[in-house]
Amino acid sequence: MTAKYQSFSPAALAYARIKDSILNRTYGPGQRLSETMLAAELKLGRSPIRTALTRLESEGWIRIQPQSGTFVSAPTLAELAEMAELRLVLEIHAARQAASRIDDVELARLRAAFEVLAATGVDGHFADFQAFDDDFHATVHLAAGNRKIFDMLRNLRDQIRWVRSSTAILPGRVAESLREMQRVLEALERRDGEAAAKAMGMHISNIASSFKSMRDAEAESAA
């Protein structure tokens, strides 16, 4: 067992490993999952597997159909739009709250990480950008001070990243995203909640728009 999972209970371990397998597409959209198969693969009892599947269903990762079985979710375009809308509302709120609550140490750490990435450039360094993007948003979410919102946003970001993993990225979008995060960071440093909320709203809206453009183009080419 890797260090990542060492302190997990059996149910938490089952949840984390099944979710990881969905995120990395070991279990692809529409794939059928069975308790017997998962128990054998994960070397866990069926009780923690069942608990994990119930949690994954509540978060939208799988669909349990009593007469057919359990399947990895394949979100519709309407569901993706709903995810984007919910994320926009929550991210704006989190940025507004974080402006007055984030501590100076975390702000300085984010600024230092941003400057390193900006100096390096994002071309050819997508993994570095993605790591900063994850850290940036998670830090803002946590600083907002609402654990339920933090958990909801973490799940939403995982779902959107999972869908995006099979979708191309618009040219220039990564560099523009970094500039948008810079505006949020500057507002946080000024402790300006309204400016942080506005900048975050623009950032998330642009992500959703670029993602929709790529999905629409893919749907047209497949038609």
Give the DSSP letter string of 195-214: HHHHHHHHHHHHHHHHHHHH
Average pLDDT score over residue span 127-145: 93
The model's confidence at residue 69, banded by pLDDT at 50, 70 and 90, is very high
Question: Quick one: pLDDT at residue 6?
Answer: 65
Q: Based on the number of CB atoms within 10 Å of its own CB, is 97 exposed (0-12), middle (13-18) or buried (19 or more)?
A: buried
The model's confidence at residue 157, banded by pLDDT at 50, 70 and 90, is confident
176 and 145 in a common domain: yes
- Taking 70 as the threshold, does the pLDDT of residue 1 lie above it? no
Question: Quick one: pLDDT at residue 218?
Answer: 59
- CATH of residue 63's domain is 1.10.10.10
Question: Quick one: pLDDT at residue 173?
Answer: 80
Domain that holds residue 98: 77-222
Domain end, chosen from 40, 72, 104, is at 72
Contact between residue 16 and residue 5 where contact means Cβ atoms under 8 Å apart: yes
Average pLDDT score over residue span 114-121: 92
207 and 118 in a common domain: yes
Closest CA to 42 of 69, 66, 67, 15: 15
Q: Is 180 helix (H, G, I), strand (E, B) or coil?
A: helix
Question: Quick one: pLDDT at residue 124?
Answer: 76
Question: Quick one: pLDDT at residue 79?
Answer: 80
Question: Quick one: pLDDT at residue 161?
Answer: 76
- CATH of residue 217's domain is 1.20.120.530
CA-to-CA separations, 112 to 14, 106, 150, in angstroms, rounded: 36, 10, 23
The model's confidence at residue 43, banded by pLDDT at 50, 70 and 90, is very high
pLDDT in tens, 175-212: 899 999 999 999 999 999 999 999 999 999 988 787 67
82 and 68 in a common domain: no
